[in-house]
């Protein structure tokens, strides 16, 4: 995997040589990776690695959790099948 610095140099190298195959060989990556980084640069203005954007979103919002806690504190013996449960 290329570092952010190497990714930036790769794009600069491609701009200098205008040859994706040669650039791919220099950095030991596939030609597809070269084109992907060029597209990423064009779309976002950066070729830096993306971090922290993955993972599953929480099923319950903080407001939902707060409401559940409040309900359980007010009615500790409530069950999911009772009408007081939303």
Closest CA to 86 of 60, 57, 47: 60
- Report the C-alpha dihedral over residues 55, 45, 33, 9, rounded to 10 degrees: -120
pTM: 0.58
**What are the pLDDT tens digits along the chain (86 aa)?**
899 999 999 999 999 999 999 999 999 999 999 999 999 999 999 999 887 767 888 899 999 999 999 988 998 888 877 665 55
Token digits of residue 25:
């060989």
């Amino acid at each position: 995997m290329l570092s952010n610095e190497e990714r930036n140099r790769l794009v600069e190298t491609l701009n200098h040589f205008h040859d994706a195959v040669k650039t791919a060989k220099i950095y030991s990556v596939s030609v597809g990776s070269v084109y992907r980084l060029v597209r990423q640069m064009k779309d976002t203005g950066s070729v830096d690695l993306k971090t922290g954007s993955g993972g599953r979103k929480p099923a319950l919002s903080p407001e939902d959790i707060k409401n559940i806690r409040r309900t359980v504190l007010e009615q500790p013996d409530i069950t999911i099948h009772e009408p007081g449960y939303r």
